[in-house]
Amino acid sequence: MALLFTFVFINVSYAQTEDEKEEVSGADKTQMFIEKAFKYSPLPFAGYATETGLVLGITKYNAFKFKSDILPDSIIQPSSILAYAYFTQKNQYKFYLITDFMQHDNKINSKFEFMFMDYPSYFFGVGNDNDFDSSYLVDFKNILIAPSISYNVVEKLYVGVKYTYNNFINIESIDGQIGDTTLYENEGIQSGIGLIVLREARDNRIRATKGSFLSASYDVYSKAFGSKFNYTQLSIDYRYYFTPYKKIIIASQLYTTLSTGDVPIQSMPVVGGAYRMRGIYENRFRDRNMMMAQVEARFPIW
């Protein structure tokens, strides 16, 4: 069950007479204030879930473009910043920040991801053959730091490197079930470096209506980098967009992750949640290797 709070602002325009100019001017100032508030201020949100109780938080998303002395604004790819923080009735919390910058005339793409949370998650087991009713709630602290940078080597093709620090702390079952004991043995630091290859051929990185995107990364986690675990992961993400009719956009995605070595359960690829196979419970399936495909239709409702 979730609660949704909606904020609606109504802007009414009308022809003005000489006597109304002062009143309309005040309305215009109010409208300008509202627009600036939406542009620069975070928005509050609230919700409810059985595992957290009441949730209260704030969020902010901004998309923008870095100026260029060479390329016109229509060719410069947008950059973005997303941040949110929330607290729950059961003293849980999550802070999240991700920046995605396209700089120097689309030549450099730099990203930074940070997360710090103490937040529960249902664990359903490993593999496709697991019982939904046998799941149990697991609580843990997690610190994630993941910077990356890639350079444009030829048209639309970027090559770069990244680093990932992922630390799981104090893993414990909330409802007292022991479940898979290897889940608790996977506490500790995961530290790895990786190679990135990107092909950016979308008309817009944030609101694509046509084109394609390809991302491939190979990550090596090793004790030589301060990691408790030794394993590798190869991930490939391909997306294709087209607009068959007016403002109806078809977005498709093919995604796979292949793992080798001592992969911690928490870092196994998963299916379910807001990004991979929407409509399936978050982290519903996980295993060492995963492949998924999804297609969705996007259209404006207002």
What is the pLDDT at residue 30?
72
Give yes or no for residue 12 having a pLDDT over 70: no
153: tokens are 């080597």
- Residue 278 DSSP label: T
Give yes or no for residue 4 having a pLDDT over 60: no
Amino acid identity at 216? A
Residue with more model confidence, 86 or 20: 86
Give yes or no for residue 255 having a pLDDT over 50: yes
Strand 231-245 relative to strand 248-261: parallel, antiparallel, unpaired? antiparallel
CA 35 to chain centroid: 25
CA distances from 173 to 69, 170, 217 (A): 56, 10, 33
Q: What is the pLDDT of residues 20-32, one digit of tens each?
A: 444 556 666 777 7
Q: What is the mean pLDDT of residues 57-73?
A: 89
In a domain, 17, yes or no: no
Give yes or no for residue 5 having a pLDDT over 80: no
Number of domains in the chain: 1
What is the pLDDT at residue 205?
86
- Residue 195: beta bridge partners? 161, 218
Task: Report d(CA 152, CA 106) in Å as an integer.
Answer: 8
Residue with more model confidence, 35 or 83: 83
pTM summary value = 0.81
Provide the 3-class DSSP secondary structure of residue 13: coil
The share of the chain scoring above pLDDT 90, in percent, equals: 49
Q: What is the mean pLDDT of residues 237-256?
A: 94
Q: What is the mean pLDDT of residues 183-200?
A: 89
In a domain, 13, yes or no: no
CATH number (domain holding residue 46): 2.40.160
Give yes or no for residue 295 having a pLDDT over 60: yes
26: tokens are 């005040």
What is the pLDDT at residue 191?
96
What is the pLDDT at residue 7?
36
Task: Report d(CA 218, CA 277) in Å as an integer.
Answer: 23
**Contact at 8 Å (CB) between 193 and 227?**
no
Give yes or no for residue 13 having a pLDDT over 50: no
What is the pLDDT at residue 38?
66
**Contact at 8 Å (CB) between 216 and 182?**
no
- First-to-last alpha carbon distance for the chain, in angstroms, is 25
In a domain, 14, yes or no: no
The share of the chain scoring above pLDDT 70, in percent, equals: 84
Q: What is the pLDDT of residues 137-153, one digit of tens each?
A: 888 899 999 999 999 99
* Residue 31: CB atoms within 10 Å: 14
CA distances from 270 to 206, 256, 275 (A): 24, 10, 10
Q: Which of 26-40, 114-128, 251-265, 271-285 has the highest mean pLDDT?
A: 251-265
What is the pLDDT at residue 11?
36
Task: Report d(CA 165, CA 167) in Å as an integer.
Answer: 7
The candidate with the shortest Cα–Cα distance to 265, out of 164, 145, 179, 165, is 179
Q: What is the mean pLDDT of residues 236-265?
A: 94
CA distances from 291 to 59, 101, 212, 264, 277 (A): 31, 28, 19, 18, 11
Task: Report d(CA 201, CA 203) in Å as an integer.
Answer: 7
Torsion region of 19: left, alpha or beta (phi above 0 gives left; psi -120 to 50 gives alpha): alpha
Mean pLDDT of the chain: 84
What is the pLDDT at residue 9?
34
The candidate with the shortest Cα–Cα distance to 73, out of 204, 196, 194, is 204
Residue with more model confidence, 152 or 273: 152
Least reliable range by pLDDT among 7-21, 109-123, 125-139? 7-21
Least reliable range by pLDDT among 71-75, 82-86, 224-228? 71-75
Q: What is the mean pLDDT of residues 273-290?
A: 84
Give yes or no for residue 190 having a pLDDT over 90: yes
Give yes or no for residue 242 having a pLDDT over 90: yes
Residue range(s) defining the domain that contains residue 221: 27-298
Specify burial of residue 165 (Cβ count, 10 A radius: 0-12, 13-18, 19+): middle
In a domain, 87, yes or no: yes
What b-and-e string marks burial along 227-263, b requiring 16 or more CB atoms within 10 Å of the CB? bbbbbbbebbbbbbbeeeeeeebbeebebebebeeeb
In a domain, 282, yes or no: yes
In a domain, 89, yes or no: yes
In a domain, 20, yes or no: no
In a domain, 161, yes or no: yes
Give yes or no for residue 40 having a pLDDT over 80: no
